[in-house]
Amino acid sequence: MLAGISRSRAEGPLPAIKRRHEPLQITLALEAEWAECFALRRTVFIDEQGVPGDLERDEHDALAAHWISRMRGEIVGTARARVLERDVKAERVAVRKDMRGSGVGRALMSAIETWARAGRMDGVRLNAQSNAVPFYEVLGYTTEGAPFEEAGIPHRSMYKRL
Ligand code: COA
């Protein structure tokens, strides 16, 4: 449990999610499911994008809330979030390569926003890879501040007030 947000509330009804592929499930990952989330992150961020392994996994994993998206039992996406003062910070949003463009990323962000609203947070912030900025803009996030580099990849800070 984080900041008084219970698992059941966090899993409450999701707002309008486009589901081109049914049945897509998004749930808060049980600790027993974290290894699957970390394996997908490894594939996407380390193998595909070349992020160093010691940066991809960090000390926040133990305390963050992790989401897992499954289709017919198979993991197709993951993301994590943690509370930073009055906001939630979304991180490690990753969709399996062959499933991109199918609404999985939107559904993951929607689940994080639902969780943040349930905890009466002010908004959701994130550091977007520059090539993912248009994805977050579609979801209502706006860039803040100057571009910066993280793990050798250009990023922008983005924010959505809830
Ligand atoms: N540029 C412009 N628009 C994009 C986009 C992009 N790179 N990626 C998605 N969108 C748009 C979609 O067209 C869709 O808009 P629509 O509903 O109007 O058609 C909307 O954003 C939602 O797209 P969705 O299908 O839910 O996105 P996704 O499941 O492909 O997930 C990522 C997006 C970025 C999470 C996914 O591409 C991914 O895992 N990339 C590799 C890892 C990564 O870079 N993560 C982000 C780290 S900051």
* Residue 158 alpha carbon to ligand 1 centre in Å: 15
82 lines ligand 1 (CB under 6 A): no
* Residue 100 alpha carbon to ligand 1 centre in Å: 7
Tell me the C-alpha distance between 52 and 38, whole Å.
14
Closest atom of ligand 1 to 128 CA is 48
Tell me the C-alpha distance between 88 and 141, whole Å.
13
Predicted pLDDT of residue 1 = 43
pLDDT band at 6 (very low <50, low <70, confident <90, very high): very low
* Residue 104 alpha carbon to ligand 1 centre in Å: 8
Whether the pLDDT of residue 31 is over 90: the answer is yes
E strands, the chain, in order: 24-28, 65-71, 74-84, 87-95, 123-129, 142-150, 153-161
Q: How confident is the prediction for the chain on average, in pLDDT? A: 90
pLDDT in tens, 129-148: 999 999 999 999 999 999 99
